[in-house]
Amino acid sequence: MTSLGTLEDLPQSYRDKLTELNLVPLWPNMRAVLPHKVPSRKTQTLNWHFNDLRPLLIEAGDLTPMEKAERRVLVLANPGHGLTNMQATPSIYMGLQLILPGETAPNHRHTPNAVRIIIEGEGATTIVDGEPCVMERGDLILTPSGKWHEHQHEGDGPIIWLDILDLPLIYQLEGSWAIEGKAQNQTLKRDKSFAEYSAAGVVPELGFQRENTDSPMLRYPWAKTRDCLVEMAKHYPNSPLRIAYVNPENGASLFPSIGFGAMMLRPNETLSLPKRTTACVFHIVEGQGALSVDTNNVIQWTEKDTLSAPGYTEIILWNESSTEPAFIITADEAPLHRYLGIF
């Protein structure tokens, strides 16, 4: 590899002239932004253990009332990107959100796309443009860019979910903003997307990408997804059990920026994922096991944990139970990489 000139090779007077005109020489930084063969990666392999985080989230409920928070969230920040940047991967934000009984997270809308994965609790509803979406464990609930949404909790005990947004991407594009709105008092009498699309929304993960519009299905019930994976296991005893969440009307990913999927690991099963360009996050719905990245970075996981792993790596997952399957929801930047032609 050719050794390029450094900034120190240039006379100070020349460097001062460049600075005055807001100029920077490329060649001293060429290898940093265009490394050979494999990109530089800031995403670290990490597990946010739910049992460690839950007490702090509950304490936040005591320390900060809803009217002082708007959204009571602890951000899952990957230290490789800097904690203040609120990134789990280059373009994915994640946070654990808490609502207590009787509370409402007020109505607003914003430019980033968002998905909620329900972790704990019952009796809460997300209202999206007037459509009530019941929040049950493992469900995916969509609040696409620009849609009004609020969260109401009329049950007992706290409800906790995982927020996944393309906020870092939209923020870096200088397009991130929100608008507050009035409470959505007039709502539909049913969960429309569940009633009309309750048997749709998941397909085998084929790696295709079609033209994307907002999915008409806002709630993807975990019970349906789990049943699909269990049924697949009966017919494909030797194949990986993975599905993709898609728009039921056109087969496109839920968002053009983030793709979502789910997988099932049979008892004692080890699964080596295809090596891919995109970083990935894993939310454990059921089970316990381990994840390794490039064979030398092994971390344990159990249900309700959330993990991250960088792209361009060999990722292996295994289920440590000899009797029970494990179920995992995934999120990655594959739709964005495909659109950009770098997948």
For the segment 162-188, the average pLDDT, to the nearest whole number, is 92
Could you tell me the pTM of the whole model?
Answer: 0.93
Contact residues for 307 (Cβ-Cβ < 8 A; gap 6+): 45, 46, 47, 48, 281, 282, 283, 284, 291, 299, 301
**DSSP symbols for 56-95:** HHHHHHHHS-GGGTSS-EEE---GGG-GGG--SSSS-EEE
Q: Which pLDDT value is given to residue 186? A: 67
State the pLDDT at residue 239: 95
Domain-wise residue ranges, the chain: 46-340
CA dihedral for 112, 98, 90, 202, sign (positive or negative) = negative
Kindly tell me if the per-residue pLDDT of 195 is higher than 70. no
Structural contact between residues 170 and 87, judged by C-beta atoms closer than 8 angstroms: no
Query: What whole-number distance in Å separates Cα of residue 167 and Cα of residue 339?
Result: 18
252 three-state secondary structure: coil
Q: pLDDT: is 188 or 237 the higher one?
A: 237
Q: CB-based contacts of 239: which residues, under 8 Å, 6+ apart?
A: none
- Residues 206 and 211: their CA atoms lie apart, in Å, by 15
3 — pLDDT class (breaks 50, 70, 90): confident
Query: How high is the mean pLDDT of the chain?
Result: 93
CA distance 201 to 253: 10
Nearest CA-CA partner of 118 in 225, 249, 46: 225
CA atoms within 13 A on the CB side of 318: 12
Q: What is the pLDDT of residue 242?
A: 97
Q: What is the pLDDT of residue 151?
A: 96
Q: How far is CA 178 from CA 75, 98, 107, 161, 249, in A?
A: 18, 20, 11, 21, 28
Gap between the Cα atoms of 286 and 283, Å rounded: 9
| DSSP for residue 7 | G
Give dist(CA 330, CA 2) in Å, integer: 40
Q: Which fold has domain 46-340?
A: Jelly Rolls (2.60.120)
Question: Is the per-residue pLDDT at 126 higher than 70?
Answer: yes
Whether the per-residue pLDDT at 50 is higher than 60: the answer is yes
pLDDT tens-place string over residues 129-154: 999 999 999 999 999 999 999 999 99
The C-alpha atoms of residue 120 and residue 138 are separated, in whole angstroms, by 9
Span 284-311, average pLDDT: 96
> Tell me, what's the pLDDT at 190?
61
Give pLDDT, residue 173. Answer: 97
For residue 26, count other CB atoms closer than 10 A to its CB: 10
Cα 210 to Cα 109, 242, 252, distances in angstroms: 26, 19, 5
